[in-house]
Structures are given as structure tokens and as C-alpha cells.
Structure 1
């Protein structure tokens, strides 16, 4: 993909008292979507696997639940990035509590 195909701007994360603001151009947004979907799928697979093993080893249910919730969070993050990209990139506001707001550029 050519640099000219990447609409929008990418800037380093800006630290604020409430968290971070990050600008991603359309190409970097697509990369972030792919990465977040990979983490989401990994969390789902791990959570499901530990959930099945939890039938026999109940101690595995807690890490399985944490893994599944983490995977779900990253899946939601990826879908919101994709929904707001519009081919021009996004602005991601992420608080210290990992609550995010994603807006189109």
C-alpha cells in the first residue's frame, strides 16, 4: 500500500491527565484493527478452552473468564475502529481505566 493511499494523519500518543489521545491514519487504523482482532480471537479461543477444561479443573474457570472478557474487549475495540475509520483514519481517546472513545478524522 502506498503512503498516498493512507488518508488522515498519524501522531504519537498525547498524554493527558485523563489518559491518551492518539491519531491514526487509515492504514494504521487497519493495522490496529487486525491486531485487535487477533488479540480478541486469541482471548476467545483461550477462554473457551479453559472453560471446557474448567469442567474437570474448576480452578481454570477464573482465568478462562478473564481471557474471554479481554478477548471481547479487544473485539469491541476493533469493531469501533472499523466503524469510525471511513477511509480517513480515527482519533482514539483512551482513559487510564481503558474506557475509549473513537471518532473519525
Structure 2
């Protein structure tokens, strides 16, 4: 579940949150002009993988309920695929030291081992 988030831009063009944060967080996301990133420990990355898989499963269930509205089913399919792919990449790169997840505002992500 997400709440409203407000940001401000500092003199280094970093975007910082000022209002509410997501209800389920595994640490602090750092906001930049290009997007946001977060370092996860091995244990935190496993929790993040579980959350992404739950989101993908929920989107898949929404697809089944949305046969009457094909555009909704298409959005659910894209969301489920995106979260599933991100979860797989985090799992593949999650070594003993964790991962760095970077996401641009265009939702292009990068996952690197720490």
C-alpha cells in the first residue's frame, strides 16, 4: 500500500522526500534527478524479493478478474511481468553482501551485486 509522497529538490539536484513514505520499506531509498536507488543487505534483499513476488501474484489475480476490461488486464500483465523480472534479477545478484537496486523515473531498473 502506498501513501502520498512529496519531494523537494536540493541545490545538488537530488530529490528528497518530505512527506509520507511507502508503508512497506526495507530501508531508505535515495532520490536523484534520474530516479532512485537503494542498497539492500542479503536479508533485506530476500524480503524485497518476497514483496515483489507478492505484488506480481496480486497483479496476476487482477488479470483473471479483469477479463471484462481488457485494458486493465493488459496493465496487470505488464505490472506482474515487471515485478517478476525485478525479483528474479535481485535474486540472481543477491550475494552475501546484498545488492544495489537503481530505478529510473522511466521504470528502467539496474541490479548490481555489492
Equivalent position SS for 2:96: coil
Deviation at 1:48, TM superposition (A): 2.9
Aligned-residue Cα RMSD (Å) equals: 1.5
User: TM-score w.r.t. structure 2 length?
Assistant: 0.72
Q: Following superposition, which runs of at least 4 residues in structure 1 exceed 4 angstroms of deviation?
A: none
Contact 1:14 1:22 in 2 (8 A): yes
In the alignment, structure 1 residue 19 sits paired with structure 2 residue 19? no
Aligned residues: 89
Measured in 2, the distance between the counterparts of 1:82 and 1:94 equals: 16
Higher relative contact order (CA 8 A, sep 6+): 1
- 1:66 is aligned to 75
Specify every segment of 5 or more residues in structure 2 that has no aligned partner in the other structure, as ranges.
Answer: 1-25
State which structure, 1 or 2, has the greater radius of gyration over its C-alpha atoms: 1
User: TM-score w.r.t. structure 1 length?
Assistant: 0.77
